[in-house]
Amino acid sequence: MSIDNILAARGFFIKKDYCRRFFKGMLLREMKTGTKLQLELYDEMGKRIDKQFVSQFEYTEDEKTAIIHVPLYEGVIYPIHTSLLLYVFFSQAEKLYSFKAEIIDRFTKGDIPFIRIKILGKITNVQRRSYYRLPCSLPAIYRIASQKEFNCESEHGEFIESNTINISGSGVCILLKDNIQADTLVECYLELKEDYEIYFLGRVVRVTKCQQNNNYRYKAGIAFEHIKGRHRDAIVKFIFEEQRKLRRKGFI
């Protein structure tokens, strides 16, 4: 049975070109010059180098080969050698992508250092994996929003202090002092990192009572209803970074 027939049997009616695009995945030639990259580098022993590297996409040479800027660490060019492996993360059209690659050459053009990388495998959309729920306690404030007000220019009451229980790419669970009905729209700010706030409007999907918590009586699962792409990307990257820390400590 063809892919089209399988999807139709399951109730998915998708245009054929989109269907092929969905299963084929993103192509290297679709990346744009100047795209910001986040890199994970691995040494000669295959051990991840515990630093945050940034780079920039320059151009493609073919379907499996690309030119990017030499990685920077804290604004300084990082010494790098050929044959090293790396993972490349980048955002495009409000989605986060990743691929594995090998450094096959290093050169300088017009006083700018570049590296040539060869892609190993496919470019994958990692947004789906970002829906892993990361247990974490982050400072947050919330208030009930108007069901018709999506820009929240008008006041809807005082914000109430809270903390998160967990967070994912699709929503967050926060602590409540008072009960809120399911399907309520809430306006929320949370401090993802120091000096970096996330704002969103969310829909309460469930509320349950807290056990053994003197400060909060309830907890609410909230699905993101309106959130800026850069804020969702920041959440995804935050989750990845925290997962890496947990893996290094052997917790996951």
Instruction: Quick: pLDDT tens for 173-230.
Output: 999 988 998 889 999 999 998 778 999 999 898 899 887 667 889 999 998 888 888 8
Q: What is the pLDDT of residue 15?
A: 37
What are the DSSP calls for 49-68, one per residue? P-S-EEEEEEEEEETTEEEE
Q: How confident is the model at residue 19 (pLDDT cuts 50, 70, 90)?
A: very low
* Residue from 247, 252, 249, 236 nearest 89 by CA: 236
- Rounded to whole angstroms, the Cα distance separating 202 from 205 reads 9
As a whole number, the mean pLDDT across the chain is 79
